[in-house]
A and B are shown apart, each in its own frame.
Chain A
């Protein structure tokens, strides 16, 4: 589905990713865990083309093309979605207006009929209800004044409406209470269809109780140093990252 080969990337003058290889399988849930500063968020930013990250070597092959040669919006239109750790607040841009624009851009890109305003509102209301969000999320400005939980739910709302093919969740579980974690996880589970691929970046195992990963990768000093199944999480929980260190 997506093949990251020998990726080197830096932020400013500091090299963060140092020859990272990772193959994301179609329809699978991949989890990336690692210590602070290992390069987890840099990896997610590099995949979506964030201006902070300069990729100096390597490639990301997706649908037969090198993703690194595309603009951020082209990557999104091709189905790559990042749920941000800290989504920005944009006063004045209406949540529904923005999301309908994004959906229509995607439909146009794929030569589909654009969803009209009435159809879109119906769709948005349905997802808002499923996510346990307040109805006024439709008319509020994008993430403006949202609580941490509301912002994360809004990211999932966007994901459910835009129906991407590769979903990167960067610490989607941080700052969520149990109820919010549950509804966010349910949203993620609704998106599983055997075709869609997930890359979940997390520090904690609690979200994994809800979304059941297929692969767990340990990222250390800019490289994937170990790959395993869900059992790897239990080892990390019991022994910490030192357990991985011992194996290397």
Chain B
């Protein structure tokens, strides 16, 4: 990566200090060790800080090569230089993306709004670094559909992230839909969701394709706050894709349901590194975590690391993880009724994936994600 010049004042900033403490991630860094981060960060990228302009009115928020070019009426965009990032975040690239972004793109969204955010990357061999900040209004419900259009951007790296504040009694539903091929830019997202008392974050990620992508989340839950986090991964060819998720129960009665499903074809590698931490104060918490993976390719790999870290006795918690192939007896049953082997496999894989896709409910998002899943499965 090209050197970025820092002033003395910058270097004393807490974000630099945290970055310096954590160090640049390498192959031994826990959350990156199955992602092959070292060669990605060792590459030379052209880097230019994005100059934000007044976005034109459109139907969604479009961020093109780091610049907000479109925004709908119900979203107010501003740029914040003195953004207070989460100094407790575990990921060095969270701090690096903040340091490189200089200003954070703040999205103020009306209550009960449904907003699409599209990331567009069209340039090659460049590093794009930016951060988004989303705040929900108290008692409101906001739905975000995050999509990516990053075709023909070989050797580019998108280093971005979201800092979301879910206000008291508010609900944020965040759906990330990523469909990436091997020639696309590599995406690394490092995020933080802070959920206030009785607030909720529904995080649903749908990640299909053959490229490289890793998302790292830190979700903090206050009193009676809850999260329902679901991840569906379909990785093909030589993909390395996945999620690292730390959910922190910081106060009593917090609840988390964390479910990850992965289907891995060819020589693909899937990553699920999930940790639910229930703190000393977080009595009467409820924490459930589950990870399931199906290996369809002989050389496919799944790295699953489900963890519960518990510091209180009064809670309900469970976790589990399975990695395997499609069950022979189940395949045979379908074939014994005249369904061909390929169709039987597809039927079972779709059933496995549909458990999560169907949680979107009927509508445009469901249709699009369902269709993209089928298209990615047949590549």
In the complex, whether A84 has a CB less than 8 A from a CB of chain B is yes
* Closest residue on chain B to residue A77 by CB atoms: B338
Say yes or no: A90 contacts B337, CB within 8 Å: no
Distance A158 CA – B330 CA, assembled complex (angstroms): 16
Residues on B with beta carbons closer than 8 Å to the beta carbon of A162? 337-338
Nearest CB of chain A from residue B148's CB, rounded to whole Å: 27
- Given A72-B332, A90-B330, A90-B333, do A109 and B338 touch, yes or no (CB 8 Å)? yes
Stretch from A98-106, A121-129, A194-202, A238-246 forming part of the interface with B: A98-106
What distance in Å separates the Cβ of A96 from its nearest Cβ neighbour in chain B? 13
Q: Is B335 an interface residue (CB 8 A)?
A: yes
Residue in B336, B348, B350 whose CB lies within 8 Å of A48: B336
A76 at the interface (CB under 8 A from B): yes
Within 8 A of B (CB), among A25-81: 48-51, 71-73, 75-77, 81
A selection of 11 A-B contacts at a CB cut-off of 8 Å is A72-B332, A73-B338, A87-B333, A88-B330, A88-B333, A92-B355, A98-B339, A98-B347, A102-B338, A105-B338, A162-B338
Bound Cα distance from A93 to B329, whole angstroms: 15
Contact, CB under 8 Å: A158 / B337:
yes
Q: A51-B328, A92-B354 are in contact. Are A72 and B348 (CB under 8 A)?
A: no
B327, B329, B334, B340: which contacts A98 (Cβ < 8 A)? B334
Q: Does A236 contact B (CB under 8 A)?
A: no
Q: A88-B330, A88-B333 are in contact. Are A73 and B355 (CB under 8 A)?
A: no
CA–CA, A162 and B352, complex, Å: 26
Tell me, yes or no, whether B341 is within 8 Å of chain A by CB. yes
Residue of A nearest to B329 (CB): A88
Minimum distance in angstroms from B357 CB to a CB of chain A: 10
Known: A48-B336, A73-B339, A90-B330. 8 other contacts (CB 8 A): A49-B336, A73-B336, A88-B327, A99-B337, A102-B338, A102-B339, A105-B343, A141-B351
Kindly state the separation between the CA atoms of A67 and B328 in the bound complex, as whole angstroms: 21
Interface size class of B (residues with CB under 8 A): 20 to 34
Chain B at the A interface: mostly helix, strand, loop or mixed? helix
- Residues B347 and A101 in contact, CB atoms below 8 Å apart: yes
Inter-chain CA distance A76–B332, complex, in Å, is: 11
A84 to B344 CA separation, bound complex (whole angstroms): 18
Q: Which residues of B have CB within 8 Å of A175?
A: none
With A90-B351, A92-B355, A93-B351 as known contacts, state yes or no: A76 contacts B335, CB within 8 Å: yes
In contact, B336 and A82 (Cβ under 8 angstroms): yes
* Assembled-state Cα–Cα distance A136/B333 (Å): 22
* A135 beta carbon closer than 8 Å to chain B: no
Q: How close is A107's CB to chain B, nearest CB, in angstroms?
A: 10
Asked if A91 is an interface residue, CB under 8 A from chain B, the answer is yes
Q: Which residues in chain B, 349-365, are within 8 Å of chain A measured between CB atoms? A: 350-352, 354-355
Q: Which one of A75, A92, A99, A105 lies within 8 Å of B340 (CB-CB)?
A: A105
Asked if A92 and B341 sit within 8 Å, CB to CB, the answer is: no
Q: Measured between alpha carbons, how far is A73 from B343 in the docked complex, in Å?
A: 11
CB-CB nearest in chain B for A50: B332
Interface string of B157-200 (1 = CB under 8 A from A): 00000000000000000000000000000000000000000000
CA–CA, A48 to B354, complex, Å?
Answer: 30
Residues of chain B within 8 A (CB-CB) of A50 are 332
Q: How far is the CA of A21 from the CA of B98 in the complex (A)?
A: 77
Which residues of the partner chain A approach B351 to less than 8 Å between Cβ atoms? 90-93, 141
Residues of B within 8 A of A99 (CB): 337
Which of chain B's residues has its CB closest to A75's CB?
Answer: B336
A73 touches B354 (CB 8 A): no
**A162 CA to B333 CA, complexed, in Å:** 14
Among residues of B, the one whose C-beta sits closest to the C-beta of A144 is: B351
The residue among B336, B339, B343, B351 with the most chain A CB atoms within 10 A of its own CB is B336
Inter-chain contacts of B330 with A (CB < 8 A): 88, 90
Q: Give chain A nearest CB distance to B89 CB in angstroms.
A: 36
Q: Give bound CA distance, A77 to B335, whole Å.
A: 10
